[in-house]
């Protein structure tokens, strides 16, 4: 798809800004375009974290946990089947045991048997464990019936979640969620693992005040030792990297690079061909997260959780190998589904994407329900419009996974459909950019029509044009390895705090195809033709089968390590032919 490159506007009063000590003007300009107002906004020390005392509902959860510790209550952690849920489960089990809880276990609903969250069915399944206290992590805020079922059995329930609440809240013993109305906690983009981390901070502070550790003769655990899990879950869940989340991720990355992380994370990095000492946020999002998620998508997320809980490196490696196998299987399934989806779209509107629905709904009965979320993401990226992929539940209903684009809050869109057509949606929930739903198979066509109508009400033709936000050109004297390293070290970069992207016109000095679908190039900026730089454009051969003499490229700076040598490399995100004179 053709994309337009739009440059960030100059920050207000940038010329008058005092340049922070030791920082380049380029990096400071990048920070300022991302909303940074002062140097304190980019400090990443733990002392700069928001205080747990600002989180409403936390005191109630801590009170219950104190009682559970004194009574050594049997605790069951109920998680979600994605990377955020897996890291949350591992964090809960490890940290609670370190704090002195002796009876802590976990349960993750099988995606295909029980569906999402604390349902009455999973409560019935959990009764075999004979718990006294349930703690939901990365789910629970929509589990009204499930919490009621647990209450009927005499169990207490603590809900820790970050998803948007519905009209009715569960009748839990305590609820901790920064997105509850009236919660003053400033960061609304904590991942589920981040919410749990804050509960643990509050719990440890209370135990310290009451002298628990001295009385029991145990060392006070350093909860920062678990920030590798928090970083992984935060990045993999693609939540916004506001200042607070950047601190959590930066500190977790520091521990991974220093070799002070869970053996399972180290094993997953190695199996993905990444050097733990050079780990970046992108490695967690694109290498570790997908391998962890593969367990929940194809089989059982317990495999991923056990990898994170493993204390022995050999055990962790064996589990990582199995997760890698599942991820390769997932890729094969995904490729087949994507080919089928693209064929469907070609049948609808060959050679003319403008004739496609604005809200895409695609369904095949044999699609794998664990992979439809990834398929929806691929279709959304390819056609730049909200997309929902559906798979059969095998009982006359279908489940859908939605991915949206800026301008459409997809959960709110589903809410509109539910209000206008109460018979269509059995259940739904999610975020601004992602959501899930269930409906009867016979209602698919009616839902697809209603979704397209809602999308057209909220978006314009301009919204349907894919754009890349660029930080502009780089002067030749900044186009070197030191700049790349400064930018890489200036993160963590990610959702809402995007890694810097630059654009320029280059002469193509040399080019060749590698791996059948990637262009490897040597480029020369037009304003500095003597300054040659290496570049790579992954999967660009599909859209640009012949390399022209001159290109316009949107790119990121990368430090490419090969056979012990580190060089500057431009990582091309978008490539198009440029006019030559």
Residue 447 CB coordination number (10 Å): 23
What are the tokens at 316?
A: 């962790």
Q: 422 vs 245, 396, 428, CA distance in Å?
A: 37, 18, 12
DSSP 249-291: HHHHHHHHHTT-S-HHHHHHHHHTT--GGG--HHHIIIIIHHH
Query: Coil, helix or strand for 401?
Result: strand
For position 346, what pLDDT does the model report? Answer: 86
Residue 304 lies in a domain: yes
> Is 284 found in the same domain as 400?
no
87 CB-near residues (< 8 Å, 6+ apart): 193, 229, 230, 232, 233, 236, 308
Largest CA-CA distance found in the chain, in angstroms, rounded: 81
What residue has token string 């219950």?
Answer: 64
pTM above 0.75, yes or no: yes
> Is 276 found in the same domain as 224?
yes
Q: 154 vs 257, 378, 455, 511, CA distance in Å?
A: 45, 45, 44, 68
> Is 179 found in the same domain as 315?
yes
Q: What CATH number does residue 295 fall under?
A: 3.90.1640.30
Q: Closest by alpha carbon to 182, among 53, 49, 50, 57?
A: 57
**Alpha-carbon distance 196 to 202, whole Å?**
10
**Alpha-carbon distance 110 to 117, whole Å?**
10
| β-bridge pairing 387-392 and 360-363 | parallel
> Is 371 found in the same domain as 318?
no
Residue 463 lies in a domain: no
Q: For residue 211, how many C-alpha atoms fall within 13 Å in the half-sphere facing its CB?
A: 1
> Is 382 found in the same domain as 251?
no
The residue from 458, 491, 512 where one domain ends is 458
> Is 207 found in the same domain as 74?
yes
**Alpha-carbon distance 474 to 507, whole Å?**
15
Residue 336 lies in a domain: no
493 CB-near residues (< 8 Å, 6+ apart): 241, 281, 282, 499, 500
**8 A C-beta contact, residue 340 and residue 375:** no
What are the tokens at 132?
A: 């006294």
**8 A C-beta contact, residue 309 and residue 264:** yes
Residue 143 lies in a domain: yes
Give the range of the structural domain holding residue 357, as residue numbers without chain letter: 349-458
Residue 422 lies in a domain: yes
**Alpha-carbon distance 564 to 554, whole Å?**
28
Residue 333 lies in a domain: no
For position 561, what pLDDT does the model report? Answer: 81
> Is 358 found in the same domain as 245?
no
DSSP 282-336: HHIIIIIHHHHHHHHHHS-THHHHHHHH--SHHHHHHHHHHHHHHHHHHHHHHHH
> Is 236 found in the same domain as 100?
yes
Query: Coil, helix or strand for 563?
Result: coil
Residue 262 lies in a domain: yes
Query: Coil, helix or strand for 403?
Result: strand
- Burial label for 473, CB within 10 Å (0-12, 13-18, 19+), is middle
What residue has token string 């570049």?
Answer: 535
**8 A C-beta contact, residue 546 and residue 513:** no
Q: 556 vs 72, 150, 504, 535, 574, CA distance in Å?
A: 52, 50, 11, 10, 10
Query: Coil, helix or strand for 82?
Result: coil
Q: Closest by alpha carbon to 509, among 476, 477, 543, 533?
A: 533
> Is 473 found in the same domain as 453?
no
**Alpha-carbon distance 76 to 99, whole Å?**
16
Residue 263 lies in a domain: yes
Q: Closest by alpha carbon to 24, among 495, 560, 555, 477?
A: 477
Based on its alpha-carbon atoms, the radius of gyration of the chain, rounded to whole angstroms, reads 25
N residues, the chain: 581
Give the burial string for 291-317 (b: 16+ CB within 10 Å, else e).
Answer: bbbbbbbbbbbbbbbbbbbbeeeebbb
The residue from 458, 485, 516 where one domain ends is 458
> Is 212 found in the same domain as 117?
yes
For position 465, what pLDDT does the model report? Answer: 87
DSSP state of 50: P
Quote the distance between the C-alpha of residue 252 and its chain's center. 15
Q: What CATH number does residue 408 fall under?
A: 3.10.310.30
Strands (E), 40-91: 75-78
Q: What CATH number does residue 546 fall under?
A: 2.40.50.460
| Coarse DSSP helix, strand, coil percentages of the chain, rounded to the nearest 5 percent | 45, 20, 35
What are the tokens at 307?
A: 């990898």
**Alpha-carbon distance 436 to 3, whole Å?**
28
**Alpha-carbon distance 81 to 110, whole Å?**
7
What residue has token string 């979320």?
Answer: 373
Query: Coil, helix or strand for 357?
Result: coil
For position 104, what pLDDT does the model report? Answer: 98
DSSP state of 219: P
What are the tokens at 308?
A: 């994170």
What are the tokens at 265?
A: 């994370």
> Is 153 found in the same domain as 101?
yes
Residues of the chain with pLDDT under 50: none
Q: How many domains does the chain have?
A: 3
**8 A C-beta contact, residue 558 and residue 538:** no
> Is 258 found in the same domain as 157?
yes
């Amino acid at each position: 798809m053709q994309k337009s490159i739009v440059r960030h506007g100059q920050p207000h009063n940038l010329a008058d800004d005092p340049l922070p000590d030791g920082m380049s003007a380029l990096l400071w300009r990048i920070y300022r375009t991302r909303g940074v107002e002062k140097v304190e906004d980019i400090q990443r020390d733990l002392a700069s974290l928001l205080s747990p005392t600002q989180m409403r509902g936390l005191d109630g959860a801590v009170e219950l946990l104190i009682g559970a510790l004194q009574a050594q209550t049997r605790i069951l952690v109920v998680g979600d089947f994605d990377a955020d849920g897996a890291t949350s489960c591992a964090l809960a089990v490890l940290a609670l045991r370190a704090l002195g809880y002796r009876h802590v276990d976990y349960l993750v609903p099988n995606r295909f048997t029980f569906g999402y969250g604390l349902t009455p069915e999973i409560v019935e399944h959990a009764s075999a464990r004979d718990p006294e206290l349930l703690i939901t992590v990365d789910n629970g805020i929509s589990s009204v019936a499930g919490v009621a079922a647990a209450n009927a059995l005499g169990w207490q329930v603590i809900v820790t979640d970050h998803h948007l609440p519905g009209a009715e809240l569960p009748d839990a013993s305590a609820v901790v969620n920064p997105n509850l109305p009236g919660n003053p906690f400033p960061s609304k983009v904590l991942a589920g693992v981040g919410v749990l981390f804050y509960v643990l901070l509050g719990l440890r502070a209370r135990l310290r005040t009451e002298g628990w550790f001295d009385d029991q003769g145990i060392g006070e655990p350093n909860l920062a030792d678990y920030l590798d899990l928090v970083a992984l879950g935060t990045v993999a869940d693609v939540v916004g990297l506001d200042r607070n989340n950047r601190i959590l991720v930066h500190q977790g990355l520091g521990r991974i690079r220093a070799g002070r992380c869970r053996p399972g994370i180290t094993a997953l990095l190695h199996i993905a061909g990444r050097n733990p000492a050079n780990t970046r946020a992108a490695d967690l999002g694109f290498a570790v997260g997908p391998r962890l998620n593969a367990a929940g998508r194809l089989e059982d997320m317990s495999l991923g959780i056990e990898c994170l809980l493993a204390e022995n490196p050999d055990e962790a490696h064996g589990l990582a190998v199995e997760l890698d196998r599942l991820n390769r299987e997932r890729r094969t399934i995904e490729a087949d589904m994507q080919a089928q989806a693209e064929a469907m779209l070609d049948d609808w509107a060959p050679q003319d994407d403008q004739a496609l629905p604005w809200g895409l709904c695609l369904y095949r009965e044999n699609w794998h329900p664990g992979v439809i979320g990834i398929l929806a993401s691929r279709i959304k990226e390819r056609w730049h419009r909200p997309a929902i992929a559906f798979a059969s539940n095998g009982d006359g209903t279908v489940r859908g996974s939605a991915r949206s684009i800026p301008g459409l809050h997809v959960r709110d869109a589903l809410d509109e459909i539910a209000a206008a057509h109460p018979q269509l949606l059995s259940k739904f929930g999610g975020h601004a950019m992602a959501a899930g739903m269930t409906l009867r198979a016979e209602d698919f066509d009616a839902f697809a029509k209603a979704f397209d109508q809602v999308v057209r009400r909220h978006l314009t033709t301009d919204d349907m044009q894919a754009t890349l936000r660029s930080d502009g050109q780089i002067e030749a004297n900044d186009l070197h390895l030191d700049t790349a390293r400064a930018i890489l070290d200036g993160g963590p970069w990610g959702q809402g705090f995007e890694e810097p992207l630059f654009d320029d016109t280059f002469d193509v000095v040399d080019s060749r195809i590698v791996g059948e679908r990637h262009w490897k190039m040597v480029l020369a900026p037009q304003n500095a033709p003597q300054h040659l730089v290496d570049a790579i454009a992954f999967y660009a051969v599909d859209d640009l089968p012949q390399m022209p003499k001159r290109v316009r490229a949107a790119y990121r700076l990368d430090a490419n390590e090969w056979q012990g040598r580190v060089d500057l490399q431009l990582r091309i995100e978008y490539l198009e032919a440029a006019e030559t004179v």
